[in-house]
Structure formats: C-alpha cells, structure tokens
Amino acid sequence: MSSFFGGKDKIGGMATENERLSRHSSGWGQLLQRLHGEESLRVLDIGPTSSTNINFITSLGHSIYLANLVEDAARHEWTLPQQEGGTVSLDVQRFLATHLDFSGRGFDVVLFWDTADYLPQELLPPVIERIHSVTVPGGQMLAMFHRASTEFVAGEKADFHRYHLTDRTMVDVQRAGEYPQLANYTNRQIERLLSSYNGFHFFLAKDNMREVVVTR
C-alpha cells in the first residue's frame, strides 16, 4: 500500500527491530542540501514506512510519497500460473500498476535505499524504468548497494533495514525484517542498471554498503 503526505497533495546485521544505529551517508548529505535549498519538492521514499521521514520531509515544506517494494514483491500474489515445464514468472505489469502508479505526479528526490538488492531480477529493470519516468528532469535518486563479495550466495536471507532521515549527513538504521538478498552488483553492473540516468556520483562507505546518487 502506498501513501502520500504533505504539500498540496495529501492522500491518505546493522540493528535490531527496536534499535537504531547511525551511519554516515554522503549521498543523503548531498540530497539534504537540496531539500534545504529548494521549496515544495516531492520526495519518493522506497522503503518501510518511517514516521520520522514523514515528519522530517513535511517539516521542510516538501511532500513525501511512500512505497515498500521489497515487502510487497515478496508476496506470492504476483506469481503467474506456471506453465508445464516452464519457469516461475511474475505479473510485472500488475505489480507496477498496483504499487508505482503515481497518478501523473513527478518527483524531485527519490530515496531508493538498498531496494535493488532484494528485488527479483525480472522485476527490477521495469521498476527502475518506472521510477526514472516519474522523476522530473534534474531530479535525483539515492540508491545503496551491498558491497560486492565473492562469498555472496543469491537467495540467502539477509537483514532488511528501515532508514530514518536526520538533519545531518547521517541516517539512522533499524532492522525491519529478513528477506532473501537476490543480487550483489559490481559498480559496472550498477552503472548499466541505472544507465538511463546521468551524473553518476559514487560514494565510498566504511561499512558494507555503497552509495550512488544519479540525476535524471
């Protein structure tokens, strides 16, 4: 279920569930400068609902739209009937229509977090394409990826986190569940995945995450 808050449009192994840990985020710091410097922006937050994010973004005079794609994609309702001898596939178009129909809205800032690592390969490119199409020219997206590892095994369950925004170059991280991590991308693969965007800016982090801010 998605929802929109604020502005003129109002429509209804890092931390435990109850613990918040702070991590430095250069990518968030870059977007924060924009949020402080411009007025009435629209923000798309792709992740578990955070009342902290809603309150913070709206307090700056911006609007925020929420969609938790990882949790929604994990539900079996998107699986199409399997043909004899075939492979399981997903109803991609119905997923997009259900969770990424923004009714003509465009977004200035997108917080994609580490969503890409948990989405099925069949679903991720169409999701990226849809988000790109609703990002306004000059709009920016922050995406995070787990550090590439030769020990990665696709499908192994990993902690999934909720990211809470702060008014500094830090985000508070809180465990929000456990889902299979389905991919572990190299920087080259990330560039290909986000090739429809311009202005790639990768940020190095001291933990096991990488960050990139891209511009529409």
Residues pairing with 46 in the sheet: 67
* 187/19 Cα distance (integer angstroms): 31
Question: Which sequence spans correspond to the domains of the chain?
Answer: 3-80+87-215
Q: What is the pTM of this model?
A: 0.89
Residues pairing with 212 in the sheet: 143, 202
Q: What is the dihedral of CA 192, 195, 199, 205, to 10 degrees?
A: -30
Architecture of domain 3-80+87-215: 3-Layer(aba) Sandwich (3.40)
Q: What is the dihedral of CA 187, 215, 144, 15, to 10 degrees?
A: 160
Count the helix, strand and coil residues of the chain and give each as a percent rounded to the nearest 5. Answer: 25, 35, 40
| Angle subtended at Cα 45 by Cα 165 and Cα 130, rounded to the nearest 5 degrees | 155
pLDDT tens for each residue of the chain, 216 residues long: 456 555 544 333 455 567 899 999 999 999 999 999 999 999 999 999 999 999 999 999 999 999 999 998 988 788 887 666 566 688 999 999 999 999 899 999 999 999 999 999 999 999 999 999 999 999 999 999 998 887 888 899 999 999 999 999 999 999 999 999 999 999 999 999 999 998 899 998 778 899 999 999
